[in-house]
Amino acid sequence: MVGFFRRIRLTASFCPISGLLVLIFTLIPFTSVTAQAGPGDGYDLWLDYQPVSDTALLLDYQQQLLRIQAPEGDGTPRVIREELQQGLSTMLGREPVFETRDASRAGLVVMPYEALPESLRKNIPAPEAGIETYRIHRVQKGKHRPLVVTAHGDSGLLYGTFHLLRLLQMHQPLARLDLSEAPRTDIRMLNHWDNLDRTIERGYSGFSIWNWQTLPDYIDPRYMDYARANASVGINGTALTSVNANALILTPHYLEKVKALADLFRPYGLKVYLTARFSAPMEIGGLSTADPLDPGVIAWWRQKADEIYAMVPDFGGFLVKANSEGQPGPQNYGRTHLDGANMLADAVAPHGGVIMWRAFVYSEHDPTDRAKQAYSEFVPYDGKFRDNVLLQVKNGPIDFQPREPFHPMFGAMEHTPLMMEFQITKEYLGFATHLVYLPKLFEETLQSDTYRKGKGSTVSKVVDGSLFGNRLTGMAGVSNIGTDYNWTGHLFGQADWYGFGRLAWDPDLSSETIAGEWLRCTFSNDPGVIAPLKAMMLESREAVVNYMNPLGLHHIFDTGHHYGPGPWVDNLSRPEWNPVYYHQADAEGIGFDRTATGSDALSQYAPEVARYFGNLETCPEEYLLWFHHLPWDYPLKNGRTLWDNLGMKYQQGVDQVREMILTWESLESQIPPERYRQVHMLLGIQLKEAQWWRDACMLYFQTFSGREFPPEMEPPQHTLEYYKSLKFPYAPGIRPRWN
């Protein structure tokens, strides 16, 4: 709300009389709607623009930045001016003045490159081509030496403005600034798994922020703050609805609401996308088939696309989950994924739209290793998709586990743009209750080497299109946002949203850099706060791997809700839904053999990668049980048995959470009390759940290994029967019904 309310408060300072009235109005929402609002509540995300405390720096900023020349007019120019006013007045303690007449007095110039006066332009290198690129340059020559933010398009100016504000939040000097930025991917988007009844599949921070009931007439201020937050990290797309799609979103009644959101988001450079239910022509169109080769179906989708584009001219396109986990798709009619994707692509092509076709498919009728199925299904179609189709591929071959090797499709489809899909919401990482800094996980995937064009063929280069010269590129993140006051439930979950955006912009950014930025913008510039918190965040990902799925274990979660351990579950209808399918524990040992003696999933990687993971000498221990089935007494690098190491890893995860708690407690005096208490309580839950994971998994695996726990491990707190008896029918995030 701050974006909205702060703007109102700022207006007050210009006119004392209206100021009084405004004050009355602002008090109402603060006391009624937002009863818990206050310092440290987290609503402002990384945009809370703390006053600059360093006096010398403050003076410098005030001298340079309080007279501004900025574009006039509505839309993005208005957003830019508002953001500058909000950010600068709060950080610098004084209202900036927008120069409309004498631009030569402006210390800060935010203008399109083409509109800069010649005297400035000759001293500033042009930004790279593109409407989203920008340059921030402090002019060094001539009488007038402003700081200039310039771009070829509105979006670039907006992104440059946010970048400048971030630099100020991070207390960076301005004197010699010269930086040039261009996004490395075209589509940088959030995927909301939000249902029309406002529940969120795998959502752990409240309900959907889209209030479909009151749209299009009631505009929640959150919508704008959502768009601002996304724009501030360069996110330029949002798929509003779940991939387990409901066809109703494509009816006129809902499209009016979609249009309202699209109109609001446009000035922030944020495009709207929708999920397309493949059977929509039957469910809302009255057709008797949804066969993608049927002329009536083809015409229906074309007409539907025309209808949407008439309302939302910059509509992004459709995101599709087809023939996956019970969703309808072209295979229901004996057609292929290729037929389905291309048919939809033709419908949106005349309007410049794209189709993001998800590669998350595995079949209950296919007895081969689930990890192999998407590759087998899609790779043969390489080069056959229309130009406006992207395949959206999850980071790993199973499903958003705490650790997976990169998906073998990355690098295997030279002629098809592959879009990365990360999960920002923590379905398999402790929900919104656990502090797990995800950019560390994202970075691990992006920096993995596919070896498809020799050493250095990283996944990041597949995603940004540079490895094969793909024209269209993108990255999607499954959103962790809901109606919780601080958006993400856990304050540190905001770092995952932030970090996703930053990595979509530049897939080679380091997770450490991102953590530093987020901490400075969210907490403080005090190195005594940043250093310990950054270390804690960077360590947190390995901690969750250790206490949930160490040494390459995966998918041993309790079923359905995926809350807590369930390695014993073996009674689900589909074999690959059962955790026992993934760990394969028996009296001899544990692990999934994906080498040539097993499922041979390794053969889907480049030979160098296959050899690396396949050879026990070189396979990193983090991936051991992902690729190999090994005896309990197999010696690991430290000379101890696999069994002992398993217990030691689980214990290490628990100890790491204890360390995180100590770190947090050591900073109590430097963190706003509300924020301190909230994170502290959540860390307490994380510790309990880490112990639960350790005890439940080790007791269960002991029934196979028959060995004593290693001395390093604390004894379990309960029996295996106790852990097995735990049931959580109301754990959050499960879809109300499968469509």
* Site of interaction with ligand GCW (CB under 6 A): 193, 201-202, 243-244, 321, 325, 360, 399-400, 427
Which C-beta is closer to ligand GCW: that of 427 or that of 506? 427
Helix segments in 566-725, DSSP class H: 579-583, 607-614, 624-627, 642-666, 673-705, 720-725
What is residue 176's three-state secondary structure?
coil
Residue pair 550/646 in contact (Cβ under 8 Å)? The answer is: yes
Question: Cβ 421 to ligand GCW, closest distance in Å?
Answer: 8
Question: Cβ 522 to ligand GCW, closest distance in Å?
Answer: 28
Three-class HEC string of 511-534: HHHHHHHHHHHHCCCCHHHHHHHH
Which tokens hold the place of 486? 């601080």
Q: Is 682 exposed, middle or buried (0-12, 13-18, 19+ CB in 10 A)?
A: buried
What per-residue string of b and e applies to 381-395 under the rule 16 or more CB within 10 Å gives b? Answer: beeebbebbbbbbbb
Question: Cβ 398 to ligand GCW, closest distance in Å?
Answer: 9
Question: Cβ 196 to ligand GCW, closest distance in Å?
Answer: 15
Question: Cβ 399 to ligand GCW, closest distance in Å?
Answer: 5
Q: In the β-sheet with 147-151, what is the strand arrangement from edge to edge? A: 97-98, 67-69, 108-112, 147-151, 134-138, 178-181
Count the neighbouring beta carbons within 10 Å of the beta carbon of residue 502. Answer: 22
What is the residue-wise DSSP string for 646-669?
HHHHHHHHHHHHHHHHHHHHHTGG
Helix 511-522 and helix 439-446: axis angle, to 10°? 160
Sign of CA dihedral 64, 65, 67, 69: positive
Q: Can you tell me the distance from the alpha carbon of 140 to that of 224, in angstroms, rounded to the nearest whole number?
A: 37
Which C-beta is closer to ligand GCW: that of 195 or that of 511? 195
Helix 252-265 and helix 295-311: axis angle, to 10°? 40
Which C-beta is closer to ligand GCW: that of 243 or that of 536? 243
Which C-beta is closer to ligand GCW: that of 90 or that of 244? 244
Question: Cβ 226 to ligand GCW, closest distance in Å?
Answer: 21
Which C-beta is closer to ligand GCW: that of 421 or that of 449? 421
What is residue 392's three-state secondary structure?
strand
ω into 125 cis (within 30 of 0): no
Question: Cβ 238 to ligand GCW, closest distance in Å?
Answer: 16
What is residue 674's three-state secondary structure?
helix
Residue 340, H or E segment: helix 337-348
Which C-beta is closer to ligand GCW: that of 137 or that of 321? 321
Question: Cβ 394 to ligand GCW, closest distance in Å?
Answer: 7
Q: Provide CB contacts within 8 A for 329, sequence distance 6+.
A: 278, 322, 323, 337, 340
Sign of CA dihedral 402, 405, 408, 411: positive
Which C-beta is closer to ligand GCW: that of 251 or that of 739? 739
Which C-beta is closer to ligand GCW: that of 515 or that of 545? 545
Question: Cβ 360 to ligand GCW, closest distance in Å?
Answer: 5
Using Cβ positions, the residue closest to ligand GCW within the complex turns out to be 399
Helices and strands, counts by H and E, the chain: 23, 16
Q: Can you tell me the distance from the alpha carbon of 593 to that of 599, in angstroms, rounded to the nearest whole number?
A: 6
Helix, strand, coil percentages, rounded to 5, for the chain: 45, 10, 45
Which C-beta is closer to ligand GCW: that of 64 or that of 373? 373
Question: Cβ 319 to ligand GCW, closest distance in Å?
Answer: 11
Q: Can you tell me the distance from the alpha carbon of 536 to that of 539, in angstroms, rounded to the nearest whole number?
A: 5
Question: Cβ 269 to ligand GCW, closest distance in Å?
Answer: 27
The tally of CA atoms less than 13 A away on the side-chain side of residue 582 is 27
Helix segments in 355-489, DSSP class H: 370-378, 439-446, 459-463
Which C-beta is closer to ligand GCW: that of 61 or that of 581? 581
Which tokens hold the place of 145? 């030496």
Question: Cβ 358 to ligand GCW, closest distance in Å?
Answer: 7
In the chain, the amino acid numbered 529 is: V
Q: Can you tell me the distance from the alpha carbon of 250 to that of 265, in angstroms, rounded to the nearest whole number?
A: 19
Which C-beta is closer to ligand GCW: that of 166 or that of 321? 321
Residue pair 561/734 in contact (Cβ under 8 Å)? The answer is: yes
The total number of residues written for the chain in this structure? 739
Sign of CA dihedral 576, 577, 583, 585: negative
Which C-beta is closer to ligand GCW: that of 110 or that of 418? 418
Question: Cβ 321 to ligand GCW, closest distance in Å?
Answer: 5
Q: Can you tell me the distance from the alpha carbon of 7 to that of 589, in angstroms, rounded to the nearest whole number?
A: 63
Residue pair 170/520 in contact (Cβ under 8 Å)? The answer is: yes
Which C-beta is closer to ligand GCW: that of 268 or that of 582? 582
Q: Which residues are catalytic?
A: 325, 399, 427
Count the neighbouring beta carbons within 10 Å of the beta carbon of residue 527. Answer: 9
